């Protein structure tokens, strides 16, 4: 019963996200593999994962963060919502860290489809999607509103 309710809510969210004129402030979904024991991810934990401050989930297990395409609108919205920074600042931030040899940025994938497929295949993966996943192999651990960090 609970899984059915989740599917219905995900379908409603997907329908609303794709409704014309509702793209501004549309939610973004941070997802993990369904076998991952993490049930929720705090915003601070997502920030730590996507800024290279940690490479582990809050329970200490390895985490592999995946990003969307470098110049994509969803990537821009994700980082604006998560950190308050635009893509130019995020790219500059990662350039400094790469130059120092400290850490590498999240691996980039082309779109929601590739992110979903990668997270589905890797229990340590975490990614973000424009649309609510309907695949039972994916679990939403954080929902963010794209316009949250203006």
CA dist 42 to 30, 38, 45, 47, 112, Å?
Answer: 11, 11, 5, 9, 21
Topology classification of domain 2-145? D-Maltodextrin-Binding Protein; domain 2 (3.40.190)
pTM higher than 0.85 for the full model? no
The tokens of 42 are what?
């705090």
Please, are residues 127 and 118 in contact by the beta-carbon 8 Å criterion?
yes
- Please report which confidence band the pLDDT of residue 17 belongs to, taking 50, 70 and 90 as the band edges: very low
Q: Determine the average pLDDT of the residues in 8-16.
A: 38
């Amino acid at each position: 019963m609970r899984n059915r309710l989740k599917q219905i809510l995900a379908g409603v969210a997907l329908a609303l996200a794709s409704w014309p004129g509702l793209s501004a402030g549309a939610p973004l979904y941070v997802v993990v593999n369904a076998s991952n024991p993490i049930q929720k991810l705090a915003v601070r934990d997502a920030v730590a994962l996507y800024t290279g401050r940690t490479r582990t989930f809050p329970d200490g297990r390895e985490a592999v963060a995946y990003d969307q395409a470098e110049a994509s609108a969803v990537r821009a919205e994700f980082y604006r919502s998560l950190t308050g920074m635009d893509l130019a600042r995020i790219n500059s931030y990662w350039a400094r860290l790469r130059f120092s040899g400290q850490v590498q940025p999240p691996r980039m994938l082309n779109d929601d489809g590739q992110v979903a497929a990668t997270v589905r295949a890797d229990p340590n993966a975490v990614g973000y999607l424009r649309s609510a996943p309907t695949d039972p192999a994916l679990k939403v651990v954080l929902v963010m509103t794209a316009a949250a960090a203006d």
